[in-house]
Amino acid sequence: MTITLIFLTCIMATVIFWLLRQTFVQPWVSDEAADSVSGASLDSKPQAIALSTFMAVATSIFALFASAYSLRMEMPDWRPMDEPLILWVNSIFLVFASIAYQWARNSVGKLDIGAKIVKRPVLIAGVFSILFLIGQLFAWYDLNQKGMYASTNPAVSFFYLFTAMHGIHLLGGLYVWGRSIRKISLNTDLRIIRTSVELCTIYWHFMLLVWILLFGLMIAT
């Protein structure tokens, strides 16, 4: 179990480092377009720093939860639980949401594209994210129907804790997603939309990574 936790931690640290680099490095900005987007890059720097700080704090919180999970499962009263099968479907929903946001990011990187074109993948990302959260609620309902509550045993308690904390963070992302949709609908300056989509994409990749690691940790034990 210790080796598994170390392995998952190394993977998370590597990907988090890449995501943080993406927050400050905008690969879709070509040298020729640098002048036209320099204003957006300058304006987005405080938002990028805020996002990076938030992800660093969230990473620390989830890492502490994972460490507590690892230590608690060594206790004699630990009883492994069978995770609801719907979690596999939910995971696919979140993967599709992340892919859709990457699609939006690639599209908005083209300087001559209209804002309306970006709206479709952003909407798709939001729909799949909402489906993910609904699926998580169904997982809770399934456990409740089986008489598995947070007080049943430590494993079930950690399941509710992991899914609740991850869901709250994703709900926060959906709030920003809604603001992005509003900006696109109001034909806001494309540079502002680009910044919003860029940061949301990074955050969605981060939430997908956290979920994969948490889910992997739970099914591995």
Provide the percentage of residues in the chain whose pLDDT is more than 90.
38
Would you say residue 52 has pLDDT above 70?
Answer: yes
Spatial distance between the Cα atoms of 181 and 5, rounded to a whole number of angstroms:
38
| pLDDT-derived band at 12, boundaries 50, 70, 90 | low
Pick 96 or 66 by higher pLDDT: 96
Q: Which two tokens stand for residue 122?
A: 């952003």
How far apart are alpha carbons 154 and 80 in whole angstroms? Answer: 9
Query: How do residues 186-204 score in pLDDT, each as one tens digit?
Result: 877 777 788 888 899 999 9
Using N-to-C axis directions, what is the helix angle for 190-220 and 2-24, rounded to 10°?
180
pTM for the whole structure: 0.80
Name the most confidently modeled range: 3-7, 32-36, 134-138: 134-138
What distance in Å separates the CA atoms of residue 123 and residue 85, rounded to the nearest whole number? 27
| CA–CA separation, 29 and 51 (whole Å) | 20
Rounded to the nearest 5°, which phi and psi values hold at 28?
A: -80, -5
As a CATH number, domain 2-220 is: 1.20.120.80
Give the residue extent of every domain in the chain.
2-220
